[in-house]
Amino acid sequence: MHDHASVASTTLASFLILAVAVGCEPAGDGASGAGEDVSAETSAAGAIPDTVRIREPGLHPEGIEWDGERGRFLVSSVTRGTVTSVRDDGSHGTFVEDTAVTSSIGVHIDRANGRLLVANSDLAATSDTSLTGQAMLGAYDLSSGERLYMADMGALVDGRHFANDVTSGPDGTAYVTDSFSPVIYEVSPEGEPSVLVRDQRLGGRGFGLNGIDYHPDGYLVVAMAGDSTFYRVPLDDPSSLAEVSVSEPISADGIVFRSPTELAVVGTTFRGEEPITEVLLLSTDDGWSSASVAGRQVAPLGPTTAAIRDGEVYAVTPHFSGMGGEEPVEVFEIFRVEFRQ
């Protein structure tokens, strides 16, 4: 029997190393920052890419989104606190550079309102438990990268904080998970933070709340990494949150709906003697009271989060195990997931 809490901690062990940001002059949005060897791999001429490689030493992206209107991926950076724009050919540039952001973690496009939402945390708090950490949320204009607000949620709840992932509803209200406190925050479209729900079931063991996404029927699905569980949180009555019965334990990181009945999950599973890093597709037929695995792809490079592009799932690999080494990791992959049974 596996101790899922310790496995989750092992999966995140390299994440918990305090990284030293690698200095690099940022390229402008869309400027070429890639060499010839990092162009996208495609399975057929003119098709969307199977793999996009970002040559940017020390970037370590954790969150990813797809901006279809502008034809670019947007990825965060735990070491720099920036958001980088990435084209299919690997060319890239800094889209958000905000000195108020310590470590950028989850990112989410609020498409209805033309904004990028960025969970702002302090990576140092993951390796130094004497630090309080932080739980902040930045909102940026999706065209210009200009900051619209920076909400500080940490003062709302006593304890340690790590803002991890973010999603939003159609009115622009944002919802943010905290991995160190049993809390989901909400932030108004104007940037005013409050507590949506506080529940000890959301505390978990070790690293707690992680991925989050909004369902069009008016509820959230959230992932608990340490407990390998998922919860359904009705926005009209968040205190009535309930565990989703899943066909097997999954210590999940990022989650994103591919459709109202399909959820892409990046995480660790426990099917054999050793834990397996995978990207999975969960399916439901009862409104996320329960779910089962409908597809999976083993992902040995250790991705963290995923985004949906034209119905396809793309995941990003941060190479956390290379953080703090003598030589910085130079290339980071965004790959298209091919689900199998």
Q: What is the pLDDT of residues 266-284, one digit of tens each?
A: 999 998 889 999 999 999 9
pLDDT of residue 11: 39
pLDDT of residue 222: 98
pLDDT of residue 59: 97
Quick check: is 29 in a domain? no
Closest by CA position to 166, among listed 64, 26, 88: 64
Q: Which helix (H) or strand (E) holds 246?
A: strand 242-246
| 288 pLDDT tier (thresholds 50, 70, 90) | very high
Structure tokens at 36: 């010839």
pLDDT of residue 2: 39
Q: Which residues form the domain of 239?
A: 4-20+53-336
Q: Which of 4-8, 16-20, 162-166 has the highest mean pLDDT?
A: 162-166
Average pLDDT over residues 212-216: 98
Tens-digit pLDDT profile for residues 216-232 = 999 999 999 989 999 99
The enclosing domain of 182 has a CATH number of 2.120.10.30
Q: How far is CA 339 from the centre of its chain?
A: 20
Q: Does the pLDDT value for residue 257 go beyond 80?
A: yes
Do the domain assignments include residue 147?
Answer: yes
Give the pLDDT confidence score for residue 326 in this predicted structure. Answer: 87
Tell me whether residue 31 is in a domain. Answer: no
Q: Is the pLDDT of residue 144 over 50?
A: yes
| 156-179 core/surface letters (b: 16 or more CB in 10 A; e: else) | bbeebbbbbbbbbbeebbbbbbbb
- pLDDT surpasses 80 at 139: yes
CA–CA dist 220, 165 (Å, integer): 12
- pLDDT of the residue at 207: 86
Higher pLDDT, 290 or 7: 290
How far is 62 from 276, CA to CA, in rounded Å?
19
Indicate whether 3 pLDDT > 70: no
Asked which of 13-22, 70-79, 145-154, 315-324 is least confident by mean pLDDT, the reply is 13-22
Average pLDDT of the residues of the chain: 89
Question: Per-residue pLDDT averaged across 35-40, rounded?
Answer: 44
Q: 190 in a domain, yes or no?
A: yes
- What is the per-residue pLDDT for 47? 84
Beta bridge pairs of residue 92: 86
pLDDT-based confidence at residue 41 (cuts at 50, 70, 90) = low
Q: pLDDT tens-digit profile of 156-204?
A: 999 999 999 999 999 999 999 999 999 999 999 999 999 999 999 999 7
pLDDT band for 40, please (50, 70, 90 cuts): low
Domain count, the chain: 1
48 within a domain of the structure (yes/no): no
Residue 34 has pLDDT above 80, yes or no: no
Q: Is the pLDDT of residue 27 over 60?
A: no
Quick check: 30 pLDDT over 80? no
Compute the distance between CA of residue 16 and CA of residue 128 in angstroms, rounded to an integer: 9
The two structure tokens encoding residue 201: 């079931």
The three-class DSSP label of residue 6 is helix
> Do residues 279 and 337 lie in contact, with contact meaning Cβ atoms separated by under 8 Å?
yes
In a domain, 127, yes or no: yes
Mean pLDDT to the nearest integer, 147-151: 98
Residue 72's pLDDT is what? Answer: 98
Instruction: Tell whether 44 is covered by a domain.
Output: no
Domain assignment present for 76 = yes
Rg, the chain, Cα only: 18
Residue 4 has pLDDT above 80, yes or no: no
